[in-house]
Structures are given as structure tokens and as C-alpha cells.
């Protein structure tokens, strides 16, 4: 390989368009403005890229057949180069809160829903199914599993993306998912090293600081990553976080040699691919310019540079660093060898193009959907219940009103979560209707919900979403509905901490997700078709006192009566 080809292998890049060679005119314009090319094929040829990462906003994931054809086109472009090398086609398909491909692909509740489920076998099955569908669409890498231990309820960016707060449980489920993805031929990525679970800032927009001592890091954060290494994880993704007790240089972990080389490679014995988190995130750009960040990441021990804000600047900077001797060609060759070895080990050089027939056979198949429903259902957690409230079929002679938050979901959903939940209840024999009140309900919306509850409702189900002490609208909505005397059931559709901020209600559930599969699972529990089997994978602290536990890890009621 030429020097230029080797440098190109280090980069995984975004690109606009649903086609590798003939994107829509608007996507051509976006690519020209962003990177000076028309298409993915041109981008790959110009920079000898090692990978492409898909995003819904870049119009890469419109439907399974389109995704498959885009993936095939990307591989044709890679194999048409002077030195033919297949590309890593990557995606953030964690499930739940972070997924780029919606229905008709099979969807699960996400990591914390699996944490509440608690079964490594179910975690393996979920990953194998998701992996098989990705492979059918020509995607060969997912940036999963999340190995962060979510010990901070105020964490704004991890939360339900984590399996939970118990390091050993996170380790077991992460290892199971690694094996499941790999069974489907998918390249895995344990993230975000050295651990993003105890932050109060989002590294997309700031540089979070974690104050863990080396001993606490070893006992909490390191445990899932050790398990991932032992399970043979293909890559480890870095975190744009500052951990002063692990490196006093004020460099984020992505740029820290003591963290990436000292801890990950030497302490944990990991010799696989290290991939940065996206280099366009604010957390890695606060201290250094975009020309220095890629070079410093490689000097720290990274191998793969994900989505820099300006590819031309990043690519030229790495080339210049090698030519000047700041990075030796031997160091460059180490990373390229790791990447090529990974591509050989996962069979990318021998993998044939995918087909429409394969997509139709695998993606969203009935057995996959049935498994997703059953696995997600086993994570639904009953946090509180008065006698005689559940199942809601006890109120079958009257309407069930479903109100609350309707956060955005990936394409291909059955509609807003409240609508999906109401429809699922109706399909189970209840009379149910939805009235969306939003995540910050105004007085008018609260009044409308109260009027609807008083107009003959037998019960009200409220979907709550990340309630905090400042979430006065959601709190006021629940208070007003409780005051009607109609039984109120809350369903926390993201973080399970909502119950601490809300007034006592007749029953309270946590689903850890708001996409269709989670809403159907909640409906089956509410209707008594399924028993709640989930257990809290995190502790719920009392409102205003994070040190006082309201509900401990492992809590969960088994029946509503």
C-alpha cells in the first residue's frame, strides 16, 4: 500500500446519500459542501477510506433494500481501488434510544431493558438477531455494546444506553452481546473507554469530567471492558471525557496515552482495534484544533479515526505527521495491520454482496419479531401497584385514556408512543384512546387530559419521559389526573427514575424505551396478558437526595394485585 492508502485506511467517514454512486441532487450538494465530492464512491476513491458510517439524517437508511444496495455499492468502490480492500460499513444500532434503522427491521428495547431482563441468553439472542439483519443489509459493524456502568442518575448521554449500575451484570450482558453479534458476522465495538457512566455532561457538546480514583475505576468502570476483551471484542471505542486521576494532563481520554496505551493496551492486555468516538464532537475539540486531534489520537494509541469534522484537514494532518516523523511509518503500519487483520478475521474479503432475496428472508422476519417481543416483555418492571388496579381488563367496561410524552422515534414506527400504546391495548380487548400531552405539557393540555379523564375513563395511563425536579409540566399533569379520582398508571418510557419525582399513583411501570416493541410489551403487562418480570438494573434515588435510595438495584414487583 502507498502511504496515502495506509492513512486512508484509518478513517471512517459519514457521507450523504441513499446510493453510493447516484445520490439525490440535494445529497450531492451536501457532499460537495462538506467534502468536495459528489458521492460515497468518489469519497472512497479520493481518500482510500477504511470505512463508512451510516446515519439516518444523511439519508443512508431509508429502507432495507436501499441500505443493502448502498452497502454493495460501497464495497464495489473499495474493491475497485488500486489496492482492493473491503470497507467497514458501520452504524450505531444499539437499539432503544440509539438506532439508525427503524421498522421493518426488528427492534429491541435497548441495553437497560436487557439489563432489567437480566438474561445473558436473551442478550445474546437480541444481538444475534440484530446482527443477522444488519449483515443482510450489508452492514458489517455496529458500535455496540455500551460497556459504560451508569452509576449516575443525572447522566445526560448514557442512561438507558447502559445495561445498568452493577459492573458484573453489565460485564456479563456486554460479553453475551459481543458473542451474539459475532455469531452473525458483525464487527463489535465496546464503548466508551475508559467509562462514560458517571458524567453529568454530554461529550457531544462539552468535555465531561469523571473524578473516579484508580481503585474505583478498576472496580467499576474497568470490569465490563475486561469482560469485553476476554470475549474477543473486535474494537474498543474511546470516550471524549477527562479523568484527572487516570491522566493529569487535562487531555480527553481519546487523546491520552496513559489511558489508551497504559490502561487499555497494557493493563487490560488489549491488542485489537481502538476506534475514536466521533471527532466532530465538542468534547474532543476544546483543547486542540481539528488538525491536531487525529494525530494526537494516533499518538495516544488509537487506530481508527471516526468522522472528523473536516476530512481533508484530518487526512492531510496525518500524512504530514508521518512525513515529518512525528508519527513513524512503523506506528502507522501497526494500526493498518490491526485493521486489515480485523477485516480478514471477520471474513470481509470473502463476503459476497447481499441480495434483495436475503433482505426479504431475514430483515423483520416473523421469528425475529416474536423473539423481540418476548425478550423486551421480560424487561418491563413493575415499580408500584395498589391492589385491584392491574390488570386494566378489570376496567374493561370503561375507556382507558393514554396520555403523556411522545419523544421522536426512528422511521418506520407505528406512530407516537401514546398512540402505539393505546392501539396495543385496544388490540388486547380494551377500549383505549390516546391524547398526546407532550414532554412539557402546558396548562391547556393538562386541562384537556383532565376533562377526558373525567369523561368516563376507567383508568389513565401516563407515559412519562425523563422527569426531573424541573419537569413541572409532567409532574403537574400527573397531580391533576390523580386529583380526578380516576386510577392513574405511569409508564416511564426512558430512564426509570421518574417515579421519584411524581406523586403516588395507582401503579407505575418502567419500560426503558419508547419504540413500538416497548409499548407493545407495556400493553401486555397492563392488560394482564404478561406478568411483569423485570428488575431494576439501577438504583432509583429519592428526589433531591441522590444518596438516599428509594428503590434499590434488583427491585421489581411480580404482580399488580
367 upstream amide cis, omega within 30 of 0:
no
pLDDT at 561: 44
Q: How far apart are CA 344 and CA 72, in angstroms?
A: 18
pLDDT at 451: 97
pLDDT at 411: 57
Domain 98-362, CATH class in plain words: alpha beta
**Burial class for 331, CB neighbours closer than 10 Å (0-12, 13-18, 19+):** middle
Contact 160, 96 (CB under 8 A): yes
**How big is the chain by its Cα radius of gyration, in Å?**
24
Active-site annotation holds for 196: no
pLDDT at 205: 77
Angle formed by the axes of helices 120-136 and 167-183, nearest 10°:
40
List the one residue out of 430, 415, 527, 419 whose CA is nearest residue 463.
419
Same CATH fold assignment for domains 98-362 and 380-551: no
**Residues in CB range of 159: below 8 A, 6 or more apart:** 97, 112, 150, 494, 495
pLDDT at 560: 47
pLDDT at 559: 65
Q: How far apart are CA 352 and CA 54, in angstroms?
A: 20
Q: What is the residue-wise DSSP string for 152-211?
A: -TT-SSSGGGSS-S-HHHHHHHHHHHHHHHHHTT-B-EEEEET--TT-SS-TTTS--B--
Residue linked to cell 401514546: 418
Measured CA to CA in angstroms, residue 241 lies from 91, 256, 286, 299, 300 at distances of 22, 10, 11, 17, 14
Superfamily of domain 380-551: Glycoside hydrolase family 3 C-terminal domain (3.40.50.1700)
Note down pLDDT in tens along the chain; length 561 residues: 999 999 999 999 999 999 999 999 999 999 999 999 999 999 999 999 999 999 999 999 999 999 999 999 999 999 999 899 999 999 999 999 999 999 999 999 999 999 999 999 999 999 999 999 999 999 999 999 999 999 999 888 899 999 999 999 999 999 999 999 999 999 999 999 999 998 877 778 778 899 999 999 999 999 999 999 999 999 999 999 999 999 989 899 999 999 999 999 999 999 999 999 999 998 899 889 999 999 999 999 999 999 999 999 999 999 999 999 999 999 999 999 999 999 999 999 999 999 999 999 999 999 999 999 999 999 999 999 998 899 998 877 899 999 999 887 655 667 899 999 999 999 999 999 999 998 899 999 999 999 999 998 999 999 999 998 887 899 999 999 999 999 999 999 999 999 999 999 999 999 999 999 999 999 999 999 999 999 999 999 999 888 899 999 999 998 644
Phi/psi zone of residue 452: left (φ > 0), alpha (ψ -120 to 50 degrees), beta? alpha
Q: How far apart are CA 460 and CA 487, in angstroms?
A: 6
Active-site annotation holds for 307: no
Contact 303, 237 (CB under 8 A): no
Q: How far apart are CA 439 and CA 10, in angstroms?
A: 41
Kind of pairing, strands 540-542 and 488-492?
A: unpaired
Per domain, the residue ranges of the chain are: 98-362, 380-551
Q: How far apart are CA 375 and CA 276, in angstroms?
A: 31
Q: Which one of 34, 65, 202, 204 is the catalytic residue?
A: 204
**Burial class for 5, CB neighbours closer than 10 Å (0-12, 13-18, 19+):** middle
The three grid cell numbers given for residue 337, joined into one nine-digit string: 495491520
Q: Which one of 27, 63, 277, 406 is the catalytic residue?
A: 277
- Report the side by side order of strands in the sheet with 11-13: 141-142, 88-91, 51-53, 11-13, 305-306
Contact 489, 507 (CB under 8 A): yes
The three grid cell numbers given for residue 432, joined into one nine-digit string: 383505549
Contact 294, 308 (CB under 8 A): yes
Amino acid at each position: 500500500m502507498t502511504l496515502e492508502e495506509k492513512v486512508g485506511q484509518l478513517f471512517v467517514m459519514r457521507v450523504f446519500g441513499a446510493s453510493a454512486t447516484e445520490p439525490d441532487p440535494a445529497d450531492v450538494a451536501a457532499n460537495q459542501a462538506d467534502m468536495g465530492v459528489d458521492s460515497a464512491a468518489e469519497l472512497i476513491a479520493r481518500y482510500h477510506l477504511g470505512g463508512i458510517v451510516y446515519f439516518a439524517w444523511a439519508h443512508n437508511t431509508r429502507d432495507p433494500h436501499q441500505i443493502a444496495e448502498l452497502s454493495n455499492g460501497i464495497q464495489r468502490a473499495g474493491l475497485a481501488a488500486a489496492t482492493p480492500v473491503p470497507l467497514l460499513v458501520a452504524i450505531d444500532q444499539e437499539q432503544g434510544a440509539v438506532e439508525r434503522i427503524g421498522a421493518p427491521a426488528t427492534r429491541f428495547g435497548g441495553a437497560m431493558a436487557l439489563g432489567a431482563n437480566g438474561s445473558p441468553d436473551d442478550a445474546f439472542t437480541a444481538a444475534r438477531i440484530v446482527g443477522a439483519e444488519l449483515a443482510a443489509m450489508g452492514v458489517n459493524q455496529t458500535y455496540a455494546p455500551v460497556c459504560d456502568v451508569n452509576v449516575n442518575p443525572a447522566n445526560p448521554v448514557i442512561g438507558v444506553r447502559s445495561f445498568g449500575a452493577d459492573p458484573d451484570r453489565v460485564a456479563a450482558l456486554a460479553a453475551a452481546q459481543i458473542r451474539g453479534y459475532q455469531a452473525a458476522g458483525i464487527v463489535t465495538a465496546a464503548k466508551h473507554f475508559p467509562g462514560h457512566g458517571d458524567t453529568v455532561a454530554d461529550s457531544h457538546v462539552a468535555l465531561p469530567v469523571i473524578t473516579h480514583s484508580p481503585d474505583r475505576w478498576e472496580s467499576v468502570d474497568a470490569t465490563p471492558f475486561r469482560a469485553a476483551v476476554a470475549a474477543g471484542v473486535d474494537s474498543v471505542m474511546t470516550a471524549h471525557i477527562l479523568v484527572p486521576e487516570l491522566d493529569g494532563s487535562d487531555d480527553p481520554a481519546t487523546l491520552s496515552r496513559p489511558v489508551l496505551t497504559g490502561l487499555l493496551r497494557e493493563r487490560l492486555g488489549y491488542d485489537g482495534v481502538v476506534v475514536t468516538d466521533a471527532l466532530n464532537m465538542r468534547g474532543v475539540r476544546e483543547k486542540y484544533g481539528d488538525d491536531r486531534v487525529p494525530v494526537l489520537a494516533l499518538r495516544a494509541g488509537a487506530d481508527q479515526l471516526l468522522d472528523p469534522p473536516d476530512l481533508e484537514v484530518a487526512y492531510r494532518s496525518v500524512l504530514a505527521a508521518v512525513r515529518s516523523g512525528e508519527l513513524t511509518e512503523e506506528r502507522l503500519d501497526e494500526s493498518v495491520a490491526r485493521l486489515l487483520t480485523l477485516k480478514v478475521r471477520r471474513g470481509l474479503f470473502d463476503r459476497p454482496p447481499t441480495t434483495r432475496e436475503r433482505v426479504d428472508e431475514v430483515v423483520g422476519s416473523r421469528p425475529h419479531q416474536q423473539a423481540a417481543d418476548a425478550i423486551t416483555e421480560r424487561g418491563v418492571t413493575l415499580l408500584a401497584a395498589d391492589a385491584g388496579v392491574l390488570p386494566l381488563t378489570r376496567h374493561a367496561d370503561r375507556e382507558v385514556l393514554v396520555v403523556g410524552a411522545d419523544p421522536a422515534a426512528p422511521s418506520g414506527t407505528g406512530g407516537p408512543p401514546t398512540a402505539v400504546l393505546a392501539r396495543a391495548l385496544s388490540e388486547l380487548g380494551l377500549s383505549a384512546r390516546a391524547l398526546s400531552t407532550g414532554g412539557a405539557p402546558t396548562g391547556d393540555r393538562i386541562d384537556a387530559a383532565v376533562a377526558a379523564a373525567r369523561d368516563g375513563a376507567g383508568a389513565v395511563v401516563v407515559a412519562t419521559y425523563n422527569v426531573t425536579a424541573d419537569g413541572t409540566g409532567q409532574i403537574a399533569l400527573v397531580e391533576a389526573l390523580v386529583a380526578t379520582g380516576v386510577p392513574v398508571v405511569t409508564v416511564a418510557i426512558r430512564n426509570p427514575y421518574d417515579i421519584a419525582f411524581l406523586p403516588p399513583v395507582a401503579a407505575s411501570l418502567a419500560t426503558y424505551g419508547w419504540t413500538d416493541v416497548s409499548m407493545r410489551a407495556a400493553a401486555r403487562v397492563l392488560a394482564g396478558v404478561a406478568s411483569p418480570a423485570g428488575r431494576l438494573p439501577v438504583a432509583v434515588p429519592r428526589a433531591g437526595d441522590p444518596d438516599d435510595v428509594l428503590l434499590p438495584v434488583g427491585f421489581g414487583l411480580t404482580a399488580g394485585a
